[in-house]
A = this chain, B = another copy of it.
Amino acid sequence: MKDIARHAGVSQSAVSFALNGRAGVSEETRERVRRVAEELGWQPSTAARALSGEGAATVGFVLARPADTLGVDSFFLQLVSGIQEVLAERHLGLLFQVVEDIADECAVYRRWWAEHRVDGVLVVDPRTDDPRPDLLDELGLPAVVIGGAPEERHPGLSTVWADDAGAMASVVDGLYALGHRRIVHIAGLAGLAHTERRIRTLAAEARRRGLTEVQSVTTDYSDAEGAAVTRRVLGGSAPPTALIYDNDVMALAGVAAASELGFSVPADVSVVAWEDSALCRMVKPWLSALSRDSVEFGRTAARELTALLDGGPARTVRVPVPRLIERDSTGAAR
Residues of B contacting A61 in the complex (Cβ-Cβ under 8 angstroms): 96
Digitize A56-98: 1 where CB-to-B-CB distance is under 8 Å, 0 elsewhere: 1010010000011011111011101110110010010111111
Counting chain B CB atoms within 10 Å of each CB, the highest count among A41, A93, A252 belongs to: A93
User: Is there contact, CB below 8 Å, between A259 and B284?
Assistant: yes
Q: Which of B47, B80, B99, B260 is close to A51, meaning CB atoms less than 8 Å apart?
A: B47
Chain A residues 88 to 119 lying within 8 A of chain B, measured CB to CB, are 88, 91, 93-99, 111, 114-117
How far apart are the CA atoms of A180 and B99 in the complex, in Å?
A: 46
A223 close to chain B: CB less than 8 A: yes
Q: CA of A87 to CA of B278 in the docked complex: distance in angstroms?
A: 32
Count copies of this chain in the complex: 2
List chain B residues, Cβ under 8 A from A116. 45-47
Contacts of A72 in B (CB 8 A): 72, 74, 277-279
Q: Is A302 an interface residue (CB 8 A)?
A: no
Within 8 A of B (CB), among A290-315: 295
Report yes or no: B277 in contact with A71, Cβ–Cβ below 8 A. Answer: yes
Q: How many residues of A contact B (CB 8 A)?
A: 58
Q: Is A46 within 8 A of B117, CB to CB?
A: yes
Contact, CB under 8 Å: B259 / A41 = no
Docked-complex contact A256 and B278, CB < 8 angstroms: no
> Which one of B98, B99, B222, B283 lies within 8 Å of A80 (CB-CB)?
B98
Does residue A318 face the partner (Cβ distance < 8 Å to B)?
no
**Which interface residue of A56, A68, A111, A283 has the most chain B CB atoms within 10 A?**
A283
Minimum C-beta distance from A257 to chain B (A):
10
Q: Give bound CA distance, A88 to B77, whole Å.
A: 20
Contacts of A136 in B (CB 8 A): none
The CA of A45 and the CA of B53, in the complex, are separated in Å by 12
- Residues on the B chain within 8 Å of A114, using CB: 41-43
Answer yes or no: A169 CB below 8 A from chain B CBs. Answer: no
| Assembled-state Cα–Cα distance A262/B293 (Å) | 35
A97 and B84 contacting across the interface, CB-CB below 8 Å: yes
Taking a contact as CB atoms closer than 8 A, the residue among B98, B115, B252, B253 that contacts A81 in the complex is: B98
Pair A51/B43 contact, Cβ less than 8 Å: no
Task: Name the one of B43, B51, B283 contacting A48, with C-beta atoms under 8 angstroms.
Answer: B51
Question: Which A residues, 217 to 266, have Cβ-Cβ distances below 8 Å to chain B?
Answer: 222-223, 249, 252-253, 256, 259-260
List 18 A–B pairs whose Cβ atoms lie within 8 Å, in order of A's numbering: A44-B115, A45-B51, A46-B115, A47-B47, A47-B56, A70-B77, A71-B74, A71-B277, A72-B72, A81-B98, A88-B99, A91-B111, A93-B95, A249-B282, A252-B282, A259-B284, A279-B279, A282-B283
Please give 19 more A-B residue pairs, beta carbons under 8 A apart, in addition to A43-B111, A46-B47, A71-B77: A42-B114, A43-B115, A47-B47, A47-B48, A47-B51, A51-B51, A67-B78, A67-B81, A68-B295, A70-B77, A70-B78, A70-B81, A71-B277, A76-B77, A80-B96, A84-B96, A94-B96, A222-B278, A223-B282
B-binding residues in A (CB < 8 A) = 41-48, 50-51, 56, 58, 61, 67-68, 70-74, 76-78, 80-82, 84-85, 88, 91, 93-99, 111, 114-117, 222-223, 249, 252-253, 256, 259-260, 277-279, 281-284, 295
